[in-house]
Amino acid sequence: MKRIYINEEYCIGCRLCEIYCQVKHSKSNKILKAFKKELPDIISRVLVEEIGCNSFAIQCRHCSDAPCVEACISGAMTKNPNTGVVICDEKKCVGCWSCIMVCPYGVIKRDLSANKAASKCDLCFGEEIPVCVKNCPNEALKFN
Amino acid sequence: MIKKTDYLIIGNSAAGLSAAESIRKIDRKRRIDIFSSESYFNYSKPLITYYLSGRLDIGRLYFKDKGFYSNNNIDLNLNSEVVNVDSKEKSVVTADGTEVKFNKLLIAGGGKPIIPAIKIKIEESAGKEGINEEILTEKTLKKEDKRLKNQAVFSGDLMDNPEKVLRQICGVFSLTTLDDAAALKRYVENNRIDSASILGGGLIGLKTAEALLELGIKVNIIEIADRILSVSFDNTASEIITKKIEETGSRVFTRSTIDEIYIKKRKITSFKLRSGKKIPCSLLIIAIGVNPNTEMLKDTGIKLENGIIVGKDLKTSEDDIYAAGDVVLSYDILTDKLKNIAIWPLAVKQGNIAGINMSGGKASYSGGLFMNSIEILNIPVISIGLSSLEGNLSGDIKIYKDYNHDKNQYRKVIIRNDRIIGAILTGNIERAGIYAGLITNRIDVSDIKENIVKEDFGIIQLPADYRKHLVVGDGIEV
């Protein structure tokens, strides 16, 4: 499967990946509307970590033996056997946070806006290239 | 009913279904039969308290959809409790007497609630002065039955079988199956219950408490240890949750248990705490724990302690018989011993590995550790590893804590000989899994101790080589 690769040394910590991720997962899909009307309910599924001048962006690794899928008590978290993408069905998720307990990357967040559900990278389902990768100005994220 | 199968799986939950799925990936042809003592096509046991509270309706409790069985060509035998296993003849017997032969067997029948022996006393019916207490025996119960003109009598050896007695008293429940939850739900709805008592302040007890509180029912929680959730919570985490429970008008009794239960017309009326205090009660839930369900394995030759002993291949002491999930004693990486760690993620993992080995593949179970995620009254808590122990650990122990009292945010990490062995996160639980990963991979954290309980603790602080190992395997270049 295609993956998002992280180039730590190219990341400048601009956080554009987070912004485009939020817009992509907003209701309006429009940057101005999303940031004016939908905050704080839209959560970025990519996370920029930064200490001093070191930074990188990290999102779900879509692990081959995904511990979040193993830990899910509701059947919401599944790995597509064909594409390898790990997806959380937010309608089925009950918000027990078992996935957060086991994800060694710490890239699953709590979405408390509507019904409590785990929120994570879906590799921008429907897009050819995930928006975090597409909008990274320095190629610190790559998709191949 | 079939008489012969290739893969026979006892248990239709996390471990059993995970095994069936992995068998089917390797062996597309041979027959798989799942035997379940229950009548539901599958449901997630940890969700039954959500059903009780009404947060989820019954149609949302399944974790594998109906197509799972047909798509994987699995035969599901419901209402078919396995009561006997013959490891020499390679067969099982179900409750209705049917014998079924197998090539490979997986025992994944989970646990059974522990029902303590509590003294039960009958209160005389109204009309007489005062309360005439009689200790429950078969004779007095029969007398009581006659008085009630009730044809049903308590059967069996009553005093030897407190479980049987408790189960026949109206208003006393345990809560480990969907049938339990449904019965409890009906009882609550039909009896206008406004308060309930829960014996046991562990996970099941507290999840039950949460559900009842959501229904507007106040609870008394009775816990024998010095704090609730003593297995996985330390004092501070327990205090945060206890305070929250007490804010609802509910009560938590610690260092206490129920000595006597009083019944009238077969219905619970009150109970007496160890302190002598008598508490009126029309609903009591017994939630003191669960034991591996191994009753049908006596005299089978399968090596048992307080669970089925399995090796790294998840095979029992008998050839062709495997076991997985809450019913086994498996390798605990933190204590280096075989332990019963009855948690969902390990049941799935073990089921998967057992399934691979049963169908001719090769996989090894590298061990696991206890962890749990629970949310009570909107405060999420995640505990991982040896999180509750403070005083009785050997080795070079260092404990790091951060506590924001006003926000109910608490984070603690326990380090032994430079490796994390336990963590608790309360309130802000995000990124908890990073600690679980550091424990599992036994990472030396001596250089990052100072940041370890900070709110912004993340991957970037981790030792460079571990970060690389973490990320390269699944696609990050560092």
> Could you tell me which of A94, A97, A129 has the C-alpha nearest to residue A21?
A129
The alpha-carbon gap from B215 to the nearest alpha carbon of chain A, in Å, equals 18
Indicate if ipTM > 0.90.
Answer: yes
The alpha-carbon gap from B373 to the nearest alpha carbon of chain A, in Å, equals 6
Higher pLDDT, B164 or B21: B21
Task: Kindly state the tokens that stand for B431.
Answer: 């990124």
Instruction: Answer yes or no: is pLDDT of B471 > 90.
Output: no
Domain topology for A1-59+123-144: Alpha-Beta Plaits (3.30.70)
Residues of chain B with C-beta less than 8 angstroms from the C-beta of A66: none
Instruction: Answer yes or no: is pLDDT of B132 > 50.
Output: no
Range 223-252 of B in CB contact (< 8 A) with A? none
| Residue-level pLDDT at B432 | 98
| Residue-level pLDDT at B219 | 98
Q: Which helix (H) or strand (E) holds B183?
A: helix B178-190
Task: Kindly state the tokens that stand for A102.
Answer: 């086991």
Q: Which helix (H) or strand (E) holds B106?
A: strand B104-107
Q: Choose the mutation target among B434, B471, B472 for the interface with A, i.e. most A CBs under 10 Å.
A: B471
B445 contact partners, CB below 8 Å, separation of at least 6:
B415, B418, B419, B420, B438, B452, B463
- Dihedral over alpha carbons B224, B229, B230, B236 (to 10 degrees): -120
Pick the CATH number of B119-288 from 3.30.450.20, 3.90.470.10, 3.50.50.60, 3.40.605.10: 3.50.50.60
| Residue-level pLDDT at B266 | 83
Please tell me if residue B475 touches chain A, with a CB cutoff of 8 Å: yes
Task: Write out the DSSP string of B279-312.
Answer: EE-S-EEE-S-EEE--GGGTTS---BSSSEE--T
Please tell me if residue A100 touches chain B, with a CB cutoff of 8 Å: yes
The alpha-carbon gap from A104 to the nearest alpha carbon of chain B, in Å, equals 4
Q: Choose the mutation target among A101, A109, A111, A144 for the interface with B, i.e. most B CBs under 10 Å.
A: A101
Task: Kindly state the tokens that stand for B153.
Answer: 């009598």
Domain topology for B7-113+291-358: FAD/NAD(P)-binding domain (3.50.50)
Other CB atoms within 10 Å distance of the CB of residue B406: 5
Please tell me if residue A104 touches chain B, with a CB cutoff of 8 Å: yes
Across the interface, which of B65, B382, B384 has its CB nearest the CB of A97? B382
| Residue-level pLDDT at B123 | 78
pLDDT digits (tens, 9 = 90+) for B283-297: 999 999 999 999 999
**For the ranges B63-72, B76-85, B163-172, B176-185, which has the lowest average pLDDT?**
B163-172
Instruction: Answer yes or no: is pLDDT of B74 > 80.
Output: yes
Q: What angle do CA B144, B148, B154 make, to 5 degrees?
A: 50
User: At A84, is the pLDDT very low, low, confident or very high (cuts 50, 70, 90)?
Assistant: very high
**For the ranges A35-44, B202-211, B215-224, which has the lowest average pLDDT?**
A35-44
A61 contact partners, CB below 8 Å, separation of at least 6:
A3, A105, A107, B471, B474, B475, B476
Please tell me if residue B136 touches chain A, with a CB cutoff of 8 Å: no
Coil vs helix vs strand at B21:
helix
Please tell me if residue B433 touches chain A, with a CB cutoff of 8 Å: yes
Task: Kindly state the tokens that stand for B218.
Answer: 């106040």
Interface contact B429-A97, CB threshold 8 A: yes
Same fold, B119-288 and B378-473: no
**For the ranges B129-138, B315-324, B433-442, B452-461, which has the lowest average pLDDT?**
B129-138
- C-alpha to C-alpha distance for B307 and B301, rounded to whole angstroms: 13
Across the interface, which of A7, A62, A102 has its CB nearest the CB of B345? A102
pLDDT digits (tens, 9 = 90+) for A129-138: 999 999 999 9
Please give the C-alpha separations between residue B154 and each of B141, B159, B165, in angstroms, as whole numbers.
7, 11, 7
Report the residue count for chain B. Answer: 478
- C-alpha to C-alpha distance for B475 and B15, rounded to whole angstroms: 29
Pairs across A and B, CB distance < 8 A: 124
Please tell me if residue A127 touches chain B, with a CB cutoff of 8 Å: no
Instruction: Answer yes or no: is pLDDT of B380 > 60.
Output: yes
DSSP B103: S
The letter for the amino acid at A40 is P
Range 5-44 of A in CB contact (< 8 A) with B? 5-8
Instruction: Answer yes or no: is pLDDT of B478 > 70.
Output: no
Instruction: Answer yes or no: is pLDDT of B248 > 90.
Output: yes
Instruction: Answer yes or no: is pLDDT of B144 > 90.
Output: no
- C-alpha to C-alpha distance for B262 and B227, rounded to whole angstroms: 26
DSSP B209: H
What's the CATH class of domain B378-473? Answer: alpha beta
8 A C-beta contact, residue B197 and residue B227: no
Interface contact A71-B345, CB threshold 8 A: yes
Instruction: Answer yes or no: is pLDDT of B110 > 80.
Output: yes
> For B413-422, what is the mean pLDDT?
96
Higher pLDDT, B156 or B404: B404
Residues of chain B with C-beta less than 8 angstroms from the C-beta of A70: 345, 348-349, 352
User: At B161, is the pLDDT very low, low, confident or very high (cuts 50, 70, 90)?
Assistant: low
Per-domain residue ranges of chain B: 7-113+291-358, 119-288, 378-473
> Could you tell me which of B288, B289, B286, B292 has the C-alpha nearest to residue B174?
B286
Please tell me if residue B471 touches chain A, with a CB cutoff of 8 Å: yes
> For B61-84, what is the mean pLDDT?
95
Range list of β-strands (E), B313-378: 321-323, 328-332, 337-339, 371-376
Nearest CA in chain B to A49: B460
Per-domain residue ranges of chain A: 1-59+123-144, 63-120
Q: Choose the mutation target among B64, B66, B344 for the interface with A, i.e. most A CBs under 10 Å.
A: B344
| Residue-level pLDDT at B457 | 95
> For B137-150, what is the mean pLDDT?
48
> For B13-27, what is the mean pLDDT?
98
| Residue-level pLDDT at B157 | 39
Instruction: Answer yes or no: is pLDDT of B371 > 50.
Output: yes
Instruction: Answer yes or no: is pLDDT of B151 > 70.
Output: no
Percent of chain B with pLDDT over 70: 89
Other CB atoms within 10 Å distance of the CB of residue B194: 12
Range 312-371 of B in CB contact (< 8 A) with A? 344-345, 348-349, 352, 371
> For B143-166, what is the mean pLDDT?
49
User: At A67, is the pLDDT very low, low, confident or very high (cuts 50, 70, 90)?
Assistant: very high
Percent of chain B with pLDDT over 90: 80
Instruction: Answer yes or no: is pLDDT of B72 > 90.
Output: yes
| Residue-level pLDDT at B140 | 52
Q: What is the mean pLDDT of chain B?
A: 89
The alpha-carbon gap from B470 to the nearest alpha carbon of chain A, in Å, equals 8
- C-alpha to C-alpha distance for A110 and B428, rounded to whole angstroms: 10
> For A113-131, what is the mean pLDDT?
92
Residues of chain B with C-beta less than 8 angstroms from the C-beta of A47: 458
Interface contact B460-A56, CB threshold 8 A: yes
**Furthest-apart CA atoms within chain B: distance in Å:** 82
Higher pLDDT, B149 or B414: B414
8 A C-beta contact, residue B103 and residue B4: no
The alpha-carbon gap from A40 to the nearest alpha carbon of chain B, in Å, equals 17
Pick the CATH number of A63-120 from 3.20.20.140, 3.40.50.720, 1.10.1040.10, 3.30.70.20: 3.30.70.20
Task: Kindly state the tokens that stand for B372.
Answer: 């749990």
